[in-house]
Structure 1
Amino acid sequence: MPTPTTNAVRMLLKLLAAPKRLTRQNLADFLGVPKLDTVTGYMNNLRAAGIEIEHDVHFRYYVVPRKGFQELEYLSPLSETDKSRLKRLLGQLPTAEATQLYNKLESLYDYQQLGLEALREPEIEKINDIERACREKRRILLVGYRSRSGNDVRDRKVEAFALEPERGMIRAYDVDPDKRRTSFFLLSRMERVTILDEPWMCEAQHFYRQADAFNIVMDKTELVHLTLKVSAYNDLIERHPQARQYIRPGKESNTYDFQGRINASFIGLIPFVLGNHRHVEVHRPKGLLIKLGEEAAQQRKKWIMKGEGAP
């Protein structure tokens, strides 16, 4: 069971990741505590540690950056000084808890940037519409959604049942006859959201399945093992911050070891490896190596033909 100090730090991380999105009741639900006074107590403890926490007119809370920031510094999620102050708080925890929360803190820069992005128009309009549709259990239309896997732009009719603004995405059941599955949809890839006059029809299919490092939800997965050099590591965690959970320092200096289950179609992984082929070594699975070879051969053939036809 999490200690009060652990919960206070967890709440702080959540507020930093999703500013002006959460009420005390939301925070109580997130932490699994029955009383709102408990949340207030955590806030008071953080304030006593010098961390300013305020709320907007709707009583949605956020962390106030340090005073004296220049404009660009103010917009930065965390300074090195801020990180040091938070790490001192983590020092009060048992080693296992401190290590887990320290890892979250290291990836916080990426997540809070998504949280800040979610505060800007028109993102906040999308979020408000999606929240309303979830409450009313109505379908929505993601207008002009830019699909990575389908490589097209089209409207998507879905039943959105979970919103994750700190990650810039929603979980929704895709009602397209060719899809009919739960997927993640990025807020940044949809032009706008239209609430439809259609109730949910597939609520029994709203599963909270875990996404992989590339935000793909698929029943069949493959265990992938890679060695990354610094350049590839930076590219991966900047594009997909959630991939950090699969990465550990490598055996050699300036290398990182990636091991995790990835969707069996390797969506997202293949373009990452090909785009960083000088800085990635693939150990397994064999199926990934075969698909990489096929894709590389197709690309080679394409560019050779273009080169031969060039004036």
Structure 2
Amino acid sequence: MSDKSRPRARVLRLLLLLIQSPYAYTLKELAKHMGVNVRTIKRDLEEIRNAGFVIDYDSKYRYALRTEEKGKELQDLLYFSIEEQQMLYLAIDNLPLQEHRARRLRQKLGSLYDFHKLGLLAYPKPFLTKIEHLAEAKKQKRQVLLKNYRSVNSNETKDRRVEVFELRAAEDLCFAYDLHHQSNRIFRPSRCGEVVVLNESWQYEHKHRPLPTDPFLIVDELQVPVDIRLKTGGYNLLIEQFPICAQYCEKIDAESYAFRCKVNHQFIGLSNFLLGNHEQVIAIVEPAELVEHLRSRLQKMVFLTKSEKFS
């Protein structure tokens, strides 16, 4: 059953999203993320307000949840504090749910976010420390040093001096201006050894801007449409590895799905998925350039020929 037919579950999911990713989504983006229209999101936000919560938004009309008592903006967090957990319990109590459903939600919440039980296995303390430092630097508009950042594109490990202007902790992403490359880029906090907040203030705020990303979180101004048929197993793997892709998938029949969207013109991310899960791919309808790109990738797999020397 979809969120459209389960409004109470959707409201709670929206509340969790506002806590986990404050000031990350506009009304239109929230609607797209939740799979409903803007009018529905407005009603859901009003219902959250009626439950006693304060909804806030920044200069770019991106929404977040504020604490009622102190009016302090919740920072970008991957985990929930005890206070935030109590806020969610309060939200459940204020929603008009049947008692057995409310009890079940409380039990799930306790199991999911009791970090005494989890022992921080899911979210290691070093990672949370990086997130806290990035959030602090963003709030104070100070530059940071991503120590020993491991780049997948360049295969290099080196320090990166950046200005972080957007942080999505739940997705392990930060959008920042790279001082060395003089451009906006996406970084993953998990790929650096340490985050050092510097004394220098931002120098290039006038160049900070949102980055056009595809469902594989690759930045590219030149995106191209793709149309791919996947088996049910391929669909499951795709949305598990890249959750954003779910909104671009359509069920064709009981055993196949169509994946249609625009991706980066170099097919980064998508080509890795297709090659790694080729047995789950039924067909590539378009573009022909993607098929040629995959053939070229196969020809460049030199380890296949080198392996023959060891046989």
TM-score normalised by the shorter chain: which range applies? Answer: 0.5 to 0.7
Q: What is the aligned counterpart of 2:248 among 246, 249, 259?
A: 246
158 and 243 in structure 1: CA distance in 2 versus 1, 3 angstrom threshold: same
The 1:202–1:291 alpha-carbon spacing in structure 2 relative to 1, beyond 3 Å, is same
Distance in 1 separating the partners of 2:63 and 2:143: 29
1:68 Cα deviation (Å)? 8.6
Question: Could you give the per-residue CA deviations for residues 141-177 of structure 1, whole angstroms, max 9, x where no partner exists?
Answer: 1122222222333222211001112222111122223
In the alignment, the residues of structure 2 paired with residue 305 and residue 18 of structure 1 have an alpha-carbon distance, to the nearest angstrom, of: 51
Q: Following the alignment from structure 1 to structure 2, what is the Cα–Cα distance between the partners of residues 140 and 26?
A: 31
The residue identity in structure 1 corresponding to 2:138 is C
Query: Secondary structure of 1:195's match?
Result: strand
- Does the CA contact (< 8 Å) of 1:149 and 1:267 recur in 2? no
The corresponding residue for 1:101 is none
SS at match of 2:136: helix
Unaligned stretches of 5+ in structure 2? 1-5, 24-51, 70-86, 98-103
Of 56, 67, 72, the residue aligned with 1:28 is: 56
The CA deviation at 1:182 is 2.1
The structure-2 alpha-carbon separation of the partners of 1:252 and 1:139, relative to structure 1 and needing over 3 Å to count, comes to same
Q: Distance in 2 between matches of 1:13 and 1:150?
A: 37
* 2:267 corresponding residue in structure 1: 266
Change in CA separation of 1:20 and 1:231 when aligned onto 2, cut-off 3 Å: closer
The answer to whether the 8 A contact 2:53-2:66 is kept is no
Structure 2 distance, partners of 1:137, 1:26, is 25
Task: Find the partner of 1:204 among 203, 206, 228.
Answer: 206
8 Å CA contact 2:20–2:170 kept in 1: the answer is no
1:12 deviates by 2.8
TM-score, normalised via structure 1 length? 0.66
Q: CA RMSD in A?
A: 3.9
For residues 19 and 66 of structure 2, the distance between their equivalents in structure 1, rounded to whole angstroms, comes to 22
Q: Deviations over 1:77-99 (max 9, x none)?
A: 9xxxxxxxxxxxxxxxxxxxxxx
The separation in 2 between residues aligned to 1:196 and 1:35, in whole angstroms, is 29
Deviation at 1:284, TM superposition (A): 1.4
**SS of equivalent to 2:219:** coil
Give the distance between the partners of 1:184 and 1:224, measured in 2 at CA.
23
Structure 1 gaps, min length 5: 52-63, 78-112
Match of 1:75 in 2: 112
Q: Distance in 1 between matches of 2:133 and 2:185?
A: 19
Q: Cα deviation per residue 1:233-256 (whole Å; 9 max; x = unaligned)?
A: 22221221111121111x232211
Aligned partner of 1:13 in structure 2 is 13
Secondary structure of 2:135's match?
Answer: helix
Amino acid across the alignment from 2:233:
S
2:242 equivalent to 1:214: no
Would you say the 8 A contact 2:19–2:64 is kept in 1? no
Counterpart position of 2:184: 182
Pick closer, same or farther for the CA change 1:219–1:240 going to 2, 3 Å.
same
In 2, the alpha carbon distance for the partners of 1:128 and 1:50 equals: 35
The structure-2 alpha-carbon separation of the partners of 1:153 and 1:233, relative to structure 1 and needing over 3 Å to count, comes to: farther
Tell me which residue corresponds to 1:278: 279
Paired letter, 1:13: R
TM-superposed deviation, 1:44: 6.0
Shift of 1:269: 1.2
Between the two proteins, the alignment pairs up a number of residues equal to 246
Cα gap change, 1:14 to 1:184, in 2 (>3 Å): farther
Give me the TM-score of the superposition, normalised by structure 2. Answer: 0.66
Same amino acid, percent of matched pairs:
28
Report the Cα offset of residue 10 of structure 1.
Answer: 6.3
**Aligned equivalents of 1:20, 1:260: Cα separation in 2:** 26
Q: Which residue is equivalent to 2:128?
A: 124
Deviation at 1:48, TM superposition (A): 2.5
- The match for 2:95 is 49
The answer (yes or no) to whether the contact 1:19–1:116 under 8 Å persists in 2 is no
State yes or no: 1:148 paired with 2:194.
no
- For the residues of structure 2 that align with 1:128 and 1:32, how far apart are their CA atoms? 17
